[in-house]
Structure 1
Amino acid sequence: MVALTKGRKTARFAGGGIRNLPVAAAAVCFTGGLAIAAAGFARPGRQGQGGDNAAKAADAATYRAVGVFMEDVTGGAANGDVRVDIQEGIFLFANSAEGDAIAQADIGRPCFIIDDQTVAKTNPNSTRAVAGIVQEVGPEGVWVDVSLTNSALAA
């Protein structure tokens, strides 16, 4: 391999960071909400579900943050009856509270999903999936780089 000696045209994957995924049955997805793929189907970001922490952790382990919803959509009667566009990129989310709040020192580190608009510093009992990588923190919230690649690598 040899380093570039002049400019070149570089191919992009997925049309510049827009994905179109099938939606989980009956999932209610709102424009701008954090989107996850759960078993391959899009749904709003959430913590792991189940009767105890082990079940919640097993559920959360199947989630991958993929971006934000580009439109309001509700899943049909079965998984995949409806599809939705999702944009990857750096987005602003609400910061968690007090001891779980993301701080300036957390820039460059992964943060974790609480819901489709809130991220947190910690992952208690492994019941939260990675939202993405913290880019900036301010009084307005947390800027997070959300993509399937970041979610998978940081998990």
Structure 2
Amino acid sequence: MTTATARVRTAAAAAGLVGALALTGCSGGGGGGSKDDASPTPSAAPTSTGTGAVTGSSGKLQGSWITTSKGAVVALVITGKQAGLFVTGGTVCSGAAGTEAGMQMIHLTCTGGGKDRVTGMVDSVSKDAMKVTWSGKLGQETYTKAEGGKLPSGLPTAPVKQ
């Protein structure tokens, strides 16, 4: 593995862990089964999407998902109805994920006003992969599930720049 590849994989793992910690770090309590996270979290809802609201559970969307796009690693973390997205290079987004009008949707607000991944519709989700179509020109991305803080095998890597 080259140094650049190792850095990309390390950045992806770090982004996923930071996202998981950011979304779960303030949940209070600990241990085991929760009661559908009864305590409200006012900061979970996006503030600038203006399109609908997530009203139902995020169910199968739960977890840490990784993909690459334009040479950057993208980590999407969904916990409860909260969603966080982290892109190597500095983009950080937060918002909500779950059922809206019978569809699985993701709504994010990104730092710096990024618009690439603001509203996403989940086309399909399985135990290993999730396809999301983002509004705008970005289009569809396929994410691979990262289990236990480890990167999934077969993750594409960015070319080494010399």
TM-score tier after normalising by the smaller chain length = under 0.3
* Higher Rg: 1
TM-score (norm. length: structure 2): 0.25
TM-score (norm. length: structure 1): 0.26
